[in-house]
Amino acid sequence: MTSSAAAPSPGSRSRSGANLARRRRRGVALGLFALLVLGFLGLATGSRPIPPGTALAALFHHDPSNDLHLIVSVLRIPRTLLAMLVGAALGLAGALMQAATRNPLAEPGLLGISAGASVAVILAIAAFQLHNMAGYVWFGMLGAGLAGAAVFLLGRAHLSGTDPVRLVLAGAGISVVLGAVTGLVIMNAPLSVLDNFRNWAAGSVEGRDMGAVAVMAVALACGGGLALALAGPLNALALGQELGQTLGVRPARIWALTCLAVMVLAGPATAAAGPIGFIGLVAPHLARMAGGPDYRWILPLSALFAASLLLGADVIGRVLAPPSEIAAGIIATLIGGPFFVWTVRKFRLARL
């Protein structure tokens, strides 16, 4: 009698599957709607507001002699696209890190990966005079990879990824060290380097051109394609390393490929927009709420929600203190900080 009461009935399993399918459809629809609305707001809002009709006309009937059309095409379209691409990359990177470490607090900013990319970018700007993203994006990828490897080794993530304390402490320690290196470079660099770094370090997509968008699109295509290919093996590893191995998954190989994908995604994202925190933490949790535990849904939903979150942070930053602007990275921190505290408390209570 106990076993029959504990086993779910076929009807309850069917209802549960139908509810999950509806949640997934609603999540996709809500994410796409938010991205569409925020994308339009990204074209119309700013230090110089543009009427909605004029913004649409600049998209579909561009007039080079109209200065409002030029603002939309030259400044706001690249900015909006870059916010979407960077947000999607950070969301995918965060979901991959949480899957690989089985740690709900993992994300590029908290685990030192953004700090590693930041050091590499500032070194490229100061030492090699590389002021174009196409030039220093490779430094950002290398710095992200090295910092991530150092944090994973120090935190023994391959052995204790389910313990968030060790990884967060390792990430904090690496971030402090890399932050000190960044400060030393800035103190001894010319003022022009300081001016460039100040805007970039706040986490901003302002002033980027279509060249940065193209580089970020290629990085997202490569890293995102690899991430989606890893969804099945990550589902197997979510059951535990031993069971995953019995299903034919090699954990070391999946770890290496996941780290490569995170490096390809987080490095260029940090190079393009600066160190933006918490986007990669919040989006995967929202994706799990909408899509369930299947990484075939978590990964694309994380990209979709993170793109909306970063674009929304950028739009909010434009309207809070006109005619000045607040960097998207600062707004993202204000939004993500309380969510981080809530996640820590929830995880701790769940373990107790």
Q: 96-105, 123-132, 152-161, 239-248: lowest mean pLDDT where?
A: 152-161
Residue-averaged pLDDT of the chain = 83
Q: Is residue 205 part of a domain?
A: yes
Domain count, the chain: 1
Q: What is the mean pLDDT of residues 88-116?
A: 86
Question: Is the N-terminal amide bond of 10 cis, ω within 30° of 0?
Answer: no
What is the structure's pLDDT at 161? 46
pLDDT above 70 (res 252): yes
Q: What is the mean pLDDT of residues 280-299?
A: 92
Q: Is residue 349 part of a domain?
A: no
Is 120:140 a contact under the CB 8 Å cutoff?
A: yes
Is 317:330 a contact under the CB 8 Å cutoff?
A: yes
pTM attached to this predicted model: 0.87
Q: Which amino acid is at 302?
A: S
Distance from chain centroid for Cα 253: 23
Q: Which residue has the higher pLDDT, 236 or 351?
A: 236
What is the structure's pLDDT at 187? 81
pLDDT above 70 (res 6): no
Q: Is residue 290 part of a domain?
A: yes
Q: Is residue 4 part of a domain?
A: no
pLDDT above 90 (res 316): yes
Per-residue pLDDT reduced to its tens digit, 59-84: 888 888 889 999 999 989 999 999 99
**Residue 180 to residue 171: CA distance in whole angstroms:** 14
Place of tokens 């700013």: 46
**Residue 69 to residue 29: CA distance in whole angstroms:** 30
Residue 33: count of CB within 10 angstroms of its CB: 11
Q: Is residue 178 part of a domain?
A: yes
pLDDT above 80 (res 26): yes
Q: What is the 3-state secondary structure (H, E, C) of the chain?
A: CHHHHHCCCHHHHHHHHHHHHHHHHHHHHHHHHHHHHHHHHHHHCCCCCCCHHHHHHHHHCCCCCCHHHHHHHHHHHHHHHHHHHHHHHHHHHHHHHHHHHCCCCCCCCCCCHHHHHHHHHHHHHHHHCCCCHHHHHHHHHHHHHHHHHHHHHHCCHHHHCCCHHHHHHHHHHHHHHHHHHHHHHHHCCCHHHHHHHHHHHCCCCCCCCHHHHHHHHHHHHHHHHHHHHCHHHHHHHCCCHHHHHHCCCCHHHHHHHHHHHHHHHHHHHHHHHCCCCCHHHHHHHHHHHHHCCCHHHHHHHHHHHHHHHHHHHHHHHHHCCCCCCCCHHHHHHHHHHHHHHHHHHHHHHHHC
What is the structure's pLDDT at 352? 32
pLDDT above 80 (res 346): no
Per-residue pLDDT reduced to its tens digit, 184-240: 888 887 777 777 777 777 788 888 888 889 989 999 999 999 999 999 999 888 877
Residue 163: count of CB within 10 angstroms of its CB: 16
Q: Residue 189: is it exposed, middle or buried by C-beta count within 10 angstroms (0-12/13-18/19+)? A: middle
Place of tokens 């970039």: 200
pLDDT bin (cut points 50, 70, 90) of residue 173 is confident
What is the structure's pLDDT at 349? 40
**Residue 186 to residue 172: CA distance in whole angstroms:** 21
Spell out the residues 6+ positions from residue 283 whose beta carbon is closer than 8 angstroms to its own. Answer: 87, 90, 91, 94, 95, 302, 303, 305, 306, 309
- For the chain, how many residues are written? 352
State which residues form the domain around 246.
Answer: 23-344
**Residue 13 to residue 23: CA distance in whole angstroms:** 15
What is the structure's pLDDT at 163? 54
What is the structure's pLDDT at 3? 43
Q: Is residue 217 part of a domain?
A: yes
What is the structure's pLDDT at 242? 73
Residue 56: count of CB within 10 angstroms of its CB: 15
Q: 115-119, 327-331, 346-350: lowest mean pLDDT where?
A: 346-350
Q: Is residue 245 part of a domain?
A: yes
What is the structure's pLDDT at 194? 73
Is 113:249 a contact under the CB 8 Å cutoff?
A: no
Q: What CATH code is carried by the domain that includes residue 59?
A: 1.10.3470.10
Q: Is residue 7 part of a domain?
A: no
